[in-house]
Amino acid sequence: MTMTDSTALSGARRAEFEAAALDILRLHGVEEPPIPIEEILRRPADHLWQPDLVDLSLHSFDTHERYAARPTIARTVARYVGASHWARRRGLVDEGGLTPDEVRYLGRALLMPGAWMSALQPSERTPATVRVRFHVPRPDAAERLAELELRPEANPAA
């Protein structure tokens, strides 16, 4: 099991986050990868949140990985979404906000929406291809493919 345990979330909860991610992307006019997550953080549609870029200054990133910062930025966006009136109005969160597992899942769904990942041809469902298409680190691509069960390796018993 990886650090992020998406199995801690029910299928219904995961579906809520997938739908919310697509809605957030639509609000920002995003129709295809790669997701401009940095721009979404800096300029949220409909004033969904007030970005505080100091949130990112506390993180260090692998300088050898071109896309290392993107998952952290996506989790920051997910936290902002979880704290927004938009999320409360749609019943995505209550006053308690999102759990760490929910933040991680929503962050991955924002960078690599499940519907878009499922639309990939079987030959494209590799960490290397997803890395290039979605601009994410290879381990994140592999984790997302596995959690969406889009690779045979997704089943550890197989």
Question: C-alpha angle with apex 100: 43 to 153, nearest 5 degrees?
Answer: 100
Higher pLDDT, 139 or 52: 139
Mean predicted confidence (pLDDT) in 21-45: 96
pTM of the model: 0.86
Burial, 75: exposed, middle or buried (Cβ in 10 Å; 0-12, 13-18, 19+)?
Answer: buried
Question: C-alpha angle with apex 116: 110 to 118, nearest 5 degrees?
Answer: 120
How confident is the model at residue 55, as a pLDDT? 60
List the single range of 7-11, 51-55, 101-105 with lowest mean pLDDT: 51-55
Mean pLDDT in the chain? Answer: 87
Percent of the chain's residues with pLDDT above 90 = 72
- Judge whether 84 and 92 are in contact, CB under 8 Å: no
Strands (E) in 29-154, as ranges, are none
Percent of the chain's residues with pLDDT above 70 = 84
Question: Where does the pLDDT of residue 5 fall: very low under 50, low under 70, confident under 90, or very high at 90 and above?
Answer: low
How confident is the model at residue 7, as a pLDDT? 63
Q: Is the dihedral of CA 113, 119, 30, 22 positive or negative?
A: negative
R_g of the chain computed on alpha carbons: 15
- Judge whether 151 and 123 are in contact, CB under 8 Å: no
Question: C-alpha angle with apex 138: 21 to 29, nearest 5 degrees?
Answer: 30
